[in-house]
Structure 1
Amino acid sequence: MSMKYYLSLLLLFFSTALLAQKKFTLSGTIRDGATGETLIGATVKISGPATAGTLTNGYGYFAISQIEGSYTVVISYTGYTAITKTITLNKDIKLNEELKSTIDLAEVVVSATNRKNENVKSAQMGLERVDMKSLNSIPVLLGEKDVLKTIQLLPGVKSGGEGNTGFYVRGGAADQNLIILDEAVVYNSSHLLGFFSTFNADAIKDVSLYKGGMPAQYGGRLSSVLDVRMDDGNNKEFKFQGGIGLIASRLKAEGPIVKDRGSFMVSFRRTYIDLFLRASPDSSINGSTLNFYDINAKANYKINDKNTIYVSGYFGKDNIGVKDLFANDWGNVTATIRLNHIFSDRLFSNTSLIYNNYNYTVRLLNDVTNFKASSLVRDFNFKEDFQYFSNKHTLRFGINATQHRISPIDISVSQESQVNPLTQQRRYGIESAAYISDEWAATEHLNFLYGLRLAAFSLMGPGNFSTYDPDGNILSTESVADGKFYKNYFNLEPRFSVSYLFNEENSIKTSYNRNTQNVHILTNATSSSPTDQYVLSSNNIKPEIADQVSMGYFRNFDENNYEFSGEVYYKWLQNQIDYKNAAQLLANSNIESELLYGVGRAYGLELFFKKKFGKLNGWVGYTLSRTERKFAELNNGKYFPSRQDRTHDVSVVGIYNISQRWTFSSSFIYSTGNAVTFPAGKYVVGGQTTYYYTERNAGRMPYNMRLDVSATLEGKKHKRYQSSWNFGVYNLLARKNPYSIEFIDDPNDPRKTAAQQTSLFGLIPSVTWNFKF
């Protein structure tokens, strides 16, 4: 045979191989068949000449590339009937499908993801999702469904205490959690001083909590990300739903703008405690104010097959006041405009313009000075995110830039007042980032999720910036003009997670991630409050840094009906902030002179066992942890427990579906008391008792324990109308859990000191009527 013949055979072989290996893309959007809502995290799996699977992204979009051939496609989502199709993949194919809901109340409220064994297979660690359809089953205070209270029942997430929606994740402080609503930062997520959260569950579609292995697209906080997404609205028909409870009512309306093309959603909630106060015969409280309202609104429109626009907003306000004494109001406003664009079957983009505003005002009503104090935090944010799908890789990359404006506190008084007005200087900063990450299914057993985030922060003028010595005295002050950069920080944040599957039912995972934070809350309370001060990183305050490593074992049993996981973690914290002893905090224009800077560490074990299906389901979570800080000026330079340090946390949730109409549930929590600083002694000056303190946080509050129960009765089903009654008892054991402890002179012997405990709640019954039509 001639050389020409061999070359012809060789060329034919390679050309055939190339043709055989040519890949085509299956892509599309998965929606709810009844409402047209996009489904986040739906599973799309194809099998044939090759097998592959993926999850839909935050907008219900997916893409899978495979070689030519005939495939079976299975599309599934928890609580929905799966769809199976056969396709011939010889060209790029669009597959937009709608799934029908089974409304299976036997499914657990919190699920790691929507694929039955995704908790085992995914490289992502520490991700928990809240199933909004089943949230009614969890007993809560006064019957108000509460996303933040629900996530506090998970291991690694510690409650801020009764009467507080603040939470702590793996040793982080309350301000180290990034809470976003449709991509907009929510600086204060509480209503009525923390009794309720700002998130009206009727208006929420998806809630994802990242407590470890944070993906590279998120940044700006050290401990966790709570990503909350609002309902898009029903694009097929008009619907109304709501509820009437003991202290609050809510109403939601949704419907198509153009059927199957665009929709809207508006939800309103308000309390009416103030109506009872007005009717009170007690003249001291008659006319006092105690209420909140919030409005969620969203609209979307599909311009064409490649472009969809979303507009959403949140408006919330709290008003608390005592007649003729004081008035306090605070609120959040967020607005988001997003454009989804499909460049190709494999390349998806999301462009966002985001605004958020948080402010509070305090007034003294019985004071001739006309005292008024106010504060403001305002952000403008631009984000550009891309997602690229290939055979074994899902690549994400993007940029974002945020302009911060913070007005710490302004105090105004009348001209006749003896009190001096105070206007603290506004601070301006630009926080920007660029990131890239890749989720790589390397083999059937090995999965990687890795990325890198470059975070930058610039403090800007106008303003005067002082430098202080260790005693708080001003060493120098520099004046910076408007728009000029004064201080810049740059940090690289690597993120890495890997999972190894022994089989379909068990795996091990490990992760490392670094995060930085440039927006800080200054508070000396055990939990956040509306009047906390926000500050930016500066010449004195360096960006906080956290490095976390974690490792876990994940196991499913009985065809994924039972889940078990055990995780250990260790976190190093740099540039942590605390106050000096006897610091002057209120209305201090040189607040940075009162700060101390140190390090911290947190480590722990988290165990989680969950039953997902059947008449009886629920979970048990346990956390054993330690959280410590160290400052050269405190506790002789030794580590001491942080305020949020609690050794043991136990939560048990049970949901029992006794029939198609009756569902019973209960939750039990137990936790070690918070670390607190007790006085070591006291002395009397001018007839006034003054306490002195030695070791920081060396004492403990009493332990917390609470049992809540509820029952839900579904009304008889009608063609256009549904209703249900929810009956609950909060704190069935009527235990007086500690909210605060104050030290006073013992009435029987002033030489001794007595501890006086304040508790908020005893046994509280509730009833709520919910309706939908």
Structure 2
Amino acid sequence: MLCLLLLCLGSAAFGQRHTVSGYVRDAQTGENLIGAAVFDTRSGQGTTTNSYGFYSLSFSSADSAFIVASYIGYQRVSHAVKLTGDVQHDYLLRASTSLATVEVVAAKEEKIQETTRMSTVSVPIEQLKAVPALLGEVDVIKTLQLLPGVQSGTEGASGMYVRGGGPDQNLILMDGAPVYNGTHLFGFFSVFNADALNHIELVKGGFPARYGGRLSSVLDISMKEGNMKEFHGEGSIGLIASKLTLEGPIKKDTASFIISARRTYLDALARPFMDKEKGVVGYFFHDFNAKLNYRITSKDRLYLSGYTGLDKFHSRLESTYSYGSEEGYRDEKAGLDWGNNMLSLRWNRILNNRLFLNTTATYSRYQFDISIHNESGNTYNGEQTHRTNTSLLYLSNIRDFSLKTDFDYLPNPNHYIRFGTQATQHQFRPGAVQYTDEVGDDALSDLNIGSKKTALESAVYMEDDVRLTDKLKVNAGLRLNSFFVDGESYLSLEPRVAARYLLNGQLALKASYAKTSQFIHLLTNSGIGLPTDLWVPATKIVQPQRASQVAIGAAQTLLGGQYEVSVEGYYKTMKGIIEYKEGADFTSTTSSNWETKVAAGKGWAYGAEFFLQKKVGNTSGWVGYTLSWADRQFAELNYGEKFPYRYDRRHDISVVLFHKLPRNWNFSSTWVYGTGNAVTLSESRYAIGNYGMVDNYSSRNDYRMRAYHRLDLGFSKTKEKRWGQVVNTISVYNAYSRQNPFYMYYGRGRDSNKNTYRQVALFPIIPSFSKSFKF
């Protein structure tokens, strides 16, 4: 009914209006270009392409138009159009080889002062690959951590803490499917293979109504669609991992594919240095992306994409002893596996030249398993006298099935209307434990299935990006969410609005407000990204999370567009956030009473962000600075007093530089500085009889670790070959070997016999080398 109403309103507005619509694509690969600018030089009207490269421009009185299509890193294409009727025209853009302008992170096809949205960043893939990387492994999340308002959790970690929020408050989408754990290697690398990605967008505030279900941010990632024209490949070989991507047409200009695989070989590298008699430890991760793209007709397109990834850690210790006629053995094995599986099926159709439909069905599953097995025994004079066999298996997962339908409707150049609906079935299993104990001939077995829950989450939304005057532009929307679990229902009506007022051609004032809700929680035991974190739903006892955020700011281009500068201030309130009570952890949540192990509270986050970037010339880069506060309060923790969030960070600075050198050499560097993380430390210790030492703690997170700062450097040289291209890269992580604190413990000092708090640093200076190639 909403669709019919909009069509009627739009039809009444057009009269004899004519429309030019179509797609903007890469001429060499057929890849859709997301966010490309389409502009009529005669009327001054313009728009940008949607997530599938579709655009639509309508004209009322003009009899002709001169339309220019442009995209960063591509040559502009122009086309004269006679408006005797509706016109469908696709623009094919070729990558520029002589373009002097180099777009850096936060590139927007609309100038920063022209777009309505604020707190939104689009990250070019080539820019991402140029940032110096830990151990040479390019990482999407670590690049995002260099932006204002985005913080890393701990040294080297790939977690995201956006504007005072936790990692569970980030909605991470890959081709529309949610990613519940986005990290490998215990949090030090993300699951996203940059070679398989087409577009990355991060939203920190002023959320459009089409996004929902999280409080702090949206990370929307699109995979490449596969080359429609010819077969190509690329890959890289690094110190700890290698990857390979292949793409090409199944049927030229009709169907294409892309597959991408990555695997670390830490286990193989470590194996020669291990003493099997003392024990064996192994770890590896792998991930695999695949996508099929089928152009059914000029108006219909079908996509099928999937991802699977696995981390596997295992250890084994075997020992034997012999004492006279008695012999004994011990075999200890442990394993930790976790991974994501996702599948996304999309169908989009141009219903008419002003209305675009996209329907998406997704499946997402995240699971981790912990296994421990201990066996021991002994014999006397060759006869077994004792045998013990103990095993423990712990597993937990979350699984989603989702169906979503979205419409993009462009009745005229002053309106860009989006509306749609979504339904998701969640299945939670916070934990299941199987325990077996055999002593001699006696056996004990116990299975605790845990509290499996099913919940239904649904939403309907509508938003309009409307130009009210030449100076005032507004994005207004409304989202209605519902959540049903165990006979309980929750509703949330969420208004969203963002506005831009243009003071002159170069400076704009902006403001936004967004109300958000989140019906799932993450029970976390630590801040270092361990996969034992548990996803659980809101219940009758545990309420949903809710937040409101307001932001104001200013944006301007300088020196003819060479520089962009933006300043934003924000204030966010949160309620319904949860943490474990004192002494509780994931091993105590395997029964249906996990709700009694957590405390619910509220939080505040506020601050200011400054961003300056240079976009042209041989030297480019950006400077970002964040001044922020983040606090929490729980009635059952810290005596009910407010305390700093663990990742409350007063000052956060990032400086990123890229420079093009002669003879195909390139230089890149990053320098980051951040106030030390908040920690809880004991103020004194005392003995109580035979019970040992007892710690006396003050307020939670009342102390600070040392400040964090680090310099990374990168040099790369590109060599052209007859068959393609080779890029050799040398990078140095932590170039001046700053001993940044990872955690602190109480122990004996180095230079005295007195006990004191000591810090553990994780990464010294780490050089690395990688070789990438394209063919």
Query: What amino acid maps onto 1:402 in structure 2?
Result: T
Contact in 1 for aligned 2:72/2:103 (Cα 8 Å): no
Query: What amino acid maps onto 2:248 in structure 1?
Result: G
Alignment of 1:356 onto 2:360: no
Alignment of 1:644 onto 2:644: no
Cα distance change of structure 1 residues 178 and 435 upon mapping to structure 2, 3 Å threshold:
same
Distance 2:638 2:426 in 1: 35
1:269-668 aligned at under 5 Å gives the runs 269-283=262-276, 287-324=280-317, 325-366=333-374, 368-391=389-412, 392-416=414-438, 421-460=447-486, 486-588=487-589, 589=591, 590-659=593-662, 661-668=664-671
| CA displacement at 1:582 relative to structure 2 | 2.8
The residue number in structure 1 matching 2:159 is: 166
| CA displacement at 1:34 relative to structure 2 | 1.1
SS in 2 for 1:375: strand
Distance 1:410 1:390 in 2: 53
Cα distance change of structure 1 residues 506 and 419 upon mapping to structure 2, 3 Å threshold:
farther
SS in 2 for 1:364: strand
Distance 2:163 2:608 in 1: 10
| CA displacement at 1:278 relative to structure 2 | 1.6
Contact in 2 for aligned 1:318/1:331 (Cα 8 Å): yes
The residue number in structure 2 matching 1:113 is: 108
Distance 2:194 2:769 in 1: 17
TM-score by length of 1: 0.91
| CA displacement at 1:424 relative to structure 2 | 1.1
SS in 2 for 1:497: strand
TM-score by length of 2: 0.91
Query: What amino acid maps onto 1:400 in structure 2?
Result: Q
Query: What amino acid maps onto 1:582 in structure 2?
Result: G
Distance 1:755 1:446 in 2: 56
Distance 2:100 2:350 in 1: 36
Query: What amino acid maps onto 2:628 in structure 1?
Result: S
SS in 1 for 2:168: helix
Cα distance change of structure 1 residues 744 and 114 upon mapping to structure 2, 3 Å threshold:
same
Residues 423-475 of structure 1: CA deviation (Å, up to 9, x unaligned) = 21101111110000000022221111010000111113xxxxxxxxxxxxxxx
Structure 2 residue runs without a partner (length 5+): 1-11, 318-332, 376-388
| CA displacement at 1:634 relative to structure 2 | 3.2
SS in 2 for 1:739: strand
Distance 1:298 1:584 in 2: 39
Query: What amino acid maps onto 1:94 in structure 2?
Result: Q
The residue number in structure 2 matching 1:188 is: 181
Distance 2:338 2:55 in 1: 40
The residue number in structure 1 matching 2:52 is: 59
Number of aligned residues: 726
| CA displacement at 1:597 relative to structure 2 | 1.6
SS in 1 for 2:698: coil
Match for residue 202 of structure 2 among 209, 215, 221 = 209
Distance 1:408 1:21 in 2: 57
Structure 1 residue runs without a partner (length 5+): 1-17, 461-485
The residue number in structure 1 matching 2:761 is: 759
The residue number in structure 2 matching 1:100 is: 94
Residues 302-342 of structure 1: CA deviation (Å, up to 9, x unaligned) = 11112100000001001112233421110100000000011
Cα distance change of structure 1 residues 93 and 737 upon mapping to structure 2, 3 Å threshold:
same
The 10-residue stretch of structure 1 (426-435 or 130-139) with the greater mean CA deviation from structure 2? 130-139
SS in 1 for 2:50: coil
Contact in 2 for aligned 1:191/1:292 (Cα 8 Å): yes
The residue number in structure 2 matching 1:470 is: none
The residue number in structure 2 matching 1:691 is: 695
| CA displacement at 1:285 relative to structure 2 | 7.2
The 10-residue stretch of structure 1 (617-626 or 581-590) with the greater mean CA deviation from structure 2? 581-590
Contact in 2 for aligned 1:409/1:587 (Cα 8 Å): no
The residue number in structure 1 matching 2:74 is: 80
The residue number in structure 1 matching 2:168 is: 175
Residues 160-215 of structure 1: CA deviation (Å, up to 9, x unaligned) = 12232111111111111001111111000001111111000000000000001111
Distance 1:239 1:195 in 2: 30
Cα distance change of structure 1 residues 451 and 660 upon mapping to structure 2, 3 Å threshold:
farther
The residue number in structure 2 matching 1:481 is: none
Contact in 2 for aligned 1:308/1:341 (Cα 8 Å): yes
Cα distance change of structure 1 residues 423 and 344 upon mapping to structure 2, 3 Å threshold:
same
Alignment of 1:221 onto 2:214: yes
Contact in 1 for aligned 2:248/2:258 (Cα 8 Å): yes
Query: What amino acid maps onto 2:756 in structure 1?
Result: A
The 10-residue stretch of structure 1 (380-389 or 62-71) with the greater mean CA deviation from structure 2? 62-71
Cα distance change of structure 1 residues 153 and 731 upon mapping to structure 2, 3 Å threshold:
same
| CA displacement at 1:240 relative to structure 2 | 1.1
The 10-residue stretch of structure 1 (142-151 or 755-764) with the greater mean CA deviation from structure 2? 755-764
Contact in 2 for aligned 1:385/1:396 (Cα 8 Å): yes
Residues 613-635 of structure 1: CA deviation (Å, up to 9, x unaligned) = 11110000000000011223333
The residue number in structure 2 matching 1:465 is: none
Contact in 1 for aligned 2:348/2:356 (Cα 8 Å): yes
| CA displacement at 1:692 relative to structure 2 | 3.6
Distance 2:435 2:127 in 1: 50
The 10-residue stretch of structure 1 (565-574 or 733-742) with the greater mean CA deviation from structure 2? 733-742
| CA displacement at 1:107 relative to structure 2 | 1.6
Residues 4-43 of structure 1: CA deviation (Å, up to 9, x unaligned) = xxxxxxxxxxxxxx99962111100010011110000000
Cα distance change of structure 1 residues 326 and 433 upon mapping to structure 2, 3 Å threshold:
same
Query: What amino acid maps onto 2:540 in structure 1?
Result: N
Contact in 2 for aligned 1:279/1:286 (Cα 8 Å): no
Query: What amino acid maps onto 1:498 in structure 2?
Result: A
SS in 2 for 1:277: helix
| CA displacement at 1:504 relative to structure 2 | 2.5
Query: What amino acid maps onto 2:545 in structure 1?
Result: E
Cα distance change of structure 1 residues 419 and 171 upon mapping to structure 2, 3 Å threshold:
farther
Identity of aligned residues (%): 41
Distance 2:232 2:632 in 1: 51
Distance 1:188 1:523 in 2: 12
Contact in 1 for aligned 2:437/2:445 (Cα 8 Å): no
SS in 2 for 1:586: helix
SS in 1 for 2:596: helix
Contact in 2 for aligned 1:349/1:387 (Cα 8 Å): yes
| CA displacement at 1:527 relative to structure 2 | 3.9
Cα distance change of structure 1 residues 617 and 286 upon mapping to structure 2, 3 Å threshold:
farther
